[in-house]
Structure 1
């Protein structure tokens, strides 16, 4: 009888202890700072990750209808703040730029950038020094100037010639576009272009595009952002190892380029971005200029400068295939303003309202970086009555801005005309912000916009794009490879010479 009493008593103590522990865990899981933005908490250790699917930006936009434009979501074990409308994004990133300009530490990216570079570098003296150097040096080597325009025009000729060699047969335009766009940034970074048949550069391009166009890889990279311990757990570890291998291959290629520059470096005559950086390294006035920083800075420029314009052009071609009337209007305007043989120049854009509207709609319709690059608060802050503690991750939901029905009627439809006034003139929308806003907006925005215009107009001037006749269905324009970026799935197209 005493034994039975002992068991019951101890069982009760165990149950009470478990209950208290469960209560403490639940209290800490659901606890929030006073006036913290409202939002779902989800499950312990996972948060809302099981519910966000392939397109979390769309889920967040839907949830914001219940929680408001500034909401919190528990991603894994950390709280994120998601900004779901233009006003809140502008309030934080523009008006509150000094507070919201930090970058959080994200393990899946930190494993290769090692807290260097420019894109993921946290706010502070190093970032300010590198950002200033980057802006000044890119301008110095032609970005935003006539000399850069001439390089893009020259590359557009190489691109068109490569497409002529396809002889009207179905092909995947990804490699040619990626090589062409990469050559523009390479001309600034390392002072040279690479032929479309250069084996090493072709391999670099292949490694680069694979990381973005493989849906499984992109999906898992997002999961690793939220639940980083999965990076080391089979079978997910293999995906991370492959992803990292591609990145390291690109970095090794850039190491070779930097080594070649050092052998021929002339401090009196810097030829390109790498030379200008080496010049700063040798001057020794700023300890932030190191070889690791150079490699990561150049890698960031190379990857971001390639993928943004390439994917925008691929979405453009897909849109012309799905909406053939837009291609007819584009070509008519191009022939009228530029002609069928003349070299396309950026100055033509002023007289091409429909083309400008088409490009603006591409940026809106297929938002390339739906949740932008994550920000972090540098100090405690209040925004619209909400309290956000220091070191909280903040994600601007650019997709939600671009699909806000209050400003874009039927946002799910591709309609370039929504950017034209009643006289047919182009009206730039301040609410189309594909490169984000504030001091951390994309460093290469000017170059990307120039490339998209000159390449698109040059291609439509010379070719009519048609769907692959060997495929019964049109390539998908709704589903894409979605992760940090939203890019088209691989597809084949016919480029018929005009």
Structure 2
């Protein structure tokens, strides 16, 4: 008779062997990559900047690699060609959104950013593009709207009287008012309590380093939502999302009471018109989450890029001088810019493109998911596999850029000083799911930068340069809060 102790030991050994086998096994012809530790995978080895760590692994595993995030194998696209192959040439297969509990909890299967690829997403994307264009995005009318908001921004900066201040709130108010004009049909005073309350919620979740790290961990390891401190954060996140949705619903209700079919005032009116036609997927919940997507993306991404821009201005003062010289030469002291001025303002365009490369705002973009079994460069990737493009790796690839760790706007100018648009700077991602607001963001960055530099010289507080290498790194990579001095130019 087998001794009970021996039987127990044998069972444990078999369980351990089976556990190791299942942990390290992978599908046939699956991309190679590290598996890490049971339950947590590679998470403990990623550090504060996972995109940089994973980019180094390219030397071992190649440009298309796998990595176990938590208990799931994700695919990482680690260079430009791999991203183009998957997201552009095989875009139909790589444009889904993965089933991540945290994302599903936030979006409830609605909105646009986290909506899975398919008929509903295509319908909502088409509506969004057509409607935003109809209300000025990418047209002369939007340029005028941005210039108007730039004047309000400069007045807020002027109120600081040359004393050190944090520009976070001012920039967020400015950028958000542009998308608010499109979505809600009006701008808000910078001290408006309703407006301020919404922006405070965004600031909490995008610019607090502790929260951004935990947010990423919850996406990688969903089981953390059931244990502290993850469970507490999820409750807080749900509360804050519900707060935003409730506030947006109040705005929609006001629109409903004054809606006139023959007078489309904004995005909300256009969506309500589709709802009245009883079109599929045009529901109240879809509208509320669509507004949330537009408000969050239309505020945080561009405002964070502008904050990185200001950091670059004060860290590399010679570039600020070159910008100012070009602006004054082309526009004078009070001339107005236009997007048609690319040929006349090459250094300004080069500066903006270098900021977007140098400080990649969305290092991993948003995660994609394969909608069917697909083969790429000899690798077989099953349906339902999560895929992340490492945008940071492209922007810092030494095969594409000379000294990528350095800030050099001149790298985007040719021998004759003309601006050269680079296909390798992809802050808005590529393929079917590239950013809906790309054109609007380009207008804002160009006009706001010119307007600020035209009016002010920006300097560090007490001549001490703030941190530019580190930031709050989650869905987006945002600067740590800093103070700046805006010295009004004397004409």
TM-score bracket for this pair, using the shorter chain length? over 0.9
Q: Is 1:282 paired with 2:273?
A: no
Q: Is 1:292 paired with 2:277?
A: no
Q: Which residue of 2 aligns with 1:416?
A: 409
Q: Which residue of 2 aligns with 1:227?
A: 221
Q: Is 1:40 paired with 2:34?
A: yes
Instruction: Report the Cα distance in structure 2 between the residues aligned to 1:204 and 1:332, rounded to whole angstroms.
Output: 38
* Runs of 4+ residues deviating >4 angstroms: none
Q: Is 1:240 paired with 2:231?
A: no
1:198-209 mapped onto 2 (5 Å cutoff): 198-209=192-203
Kept after mapping to 2: 8 A contact 1:208/1:250:
no
Q: Which residue of 2 aligns with 1:477?
A: 468
Instruction: Report the Cα distance in structure 1 between the residues aligned to 2:370 and 2:101, rounded to whole angstroms.
Output: 18
Q: Which residue of 1 aligns with 2:125?
A: 131
Q: CA deviation at 1:147?
A: 0.7
1:18-29 mapped onto 2 (5 Å cutoff): 18-29=12-23
Q: Which runs of 5+ in 1 are unaligned?
A: 1-5
Q: CA deviation at 1:431?
A: 0.4
Instruction: Report the Cα distance in structure 1 between the residues aligned to 2:362 and 2:252, rounded to whole angstroms.
Output: 30
Deviates more, 1:315-324 or 1:341-350: 341-350
Q: Which residue of 2 aligns with 1:82?
A: 76
Deviations 1:121-177 (A, max 9, x none): 001111011011111111111111011111001000111111111111111111111
Q: Is 1:443 paired with 2:416?
A: no
1:391-470 mapped onto 2 (5 Å cutoff): 391-469=384-462
Q: Is 1:59 paired with 2:50?
A: no
Instruction: Report the Cα distance in structure 1 between the residues aligned to 2:256 and 2:265, rounded to whole angstroms.
Output: 12
Instruction: Report the Cα distance in structure 2 between the residues aligned to 1:460 and 1:241, rounded to whole angstroms.
Output: 42
Deviations 1:63-95 (A, max 9, x none): 111000000000011010000000010000110
Deviations 1:175-195 (A, max 9, x none): 111111111111111100001
Q: Which residue of 2 aligns with 1:166?
A: 160
Instruction: Report the Cα distance in structure 2 between the residues aligned to 1:169 and 1:191, rounded to whole angstroms.
Output: 34
Kept after mapping to 2: 8 A contact 1:349/1:356:
yes
Kept after mapping to 1: 8 A contact 2:343/2:418:
no
Instruction: Report the Cα distance in structure 2 between the residues aligned to 1:348 and 1:256, rounded to whole angstroms.
Output: 41
Kept after mapping to 2: 8 A contact 1:337/1:348:
no
Q: CA deviation at 1:252?
A: 2.0
Q: Which residue of 2 aligns with 1:495?
A: 486
Instruction: Report the Cα distance in structure 2 between the residues aligned to 1:350 and 1:264, rounded to whole angstroms.
Output: 45
Q: Which runs of 5+ in 2 are unaligned?
A: none
Instruction: Report the Cα distance in structure 1 between the residues aligned to 2:448 and 2:401, rounded to whole angstroms.
Output: 27
Instruction: Report the Cα distance in structure 2 between the residues aligned to 1:243 and 1:320, rounded to whole angstroms.
Output: 34
Choose from 308, 321, 328 the match for 2:314.
321
Q: CA deviation at 1:353?
A: 0.8
Q: Which residue of 2 aligns with 1:212?
A: 206
Choose from 295, 301, 314 the match for 1:302.
295
Deviates more, 1:415-424 or 1:396-405: 415-424
Q: CA deviation at 1:350?
A: 2.7
Instruction: Report the Cα distance in structure 2 between the residues aligned to 1:55 and 1:187, rounded to whole angstroms.
Output: 35
Q: CA deviation at 1:41?
A: 0.3
The alignment partner of 1:73 has SS state of: strand
Instruction: Report the Cα distance in structure 2 between the residues aligned to 1:367 and 1:251, rounded to whole angstroms.
Output: 29
From the superposition, tell whether residues 71 and 308 of structure 1 become closer, same or farther in structure 2 (CA, over 3 Å).
same
Instruction: Report the Cα distance in structure 1 between the residues aligned to 2:29 and 2:378, rounded to whole angstroms.
Output: 7
The alignment partner of 2:165 has SS state of: coil
Q: CA deviation at 1:19?
A: 1.1
The alignment partner of 2:66 has SS state of: strand
Q: Which residue of 2 aligns with 1:312?
A: 305
Kept after mapping to 2: 8 A contact 1:465/1:496:
yes
Choose from 364, 377, 387 the match for 1:371.
364
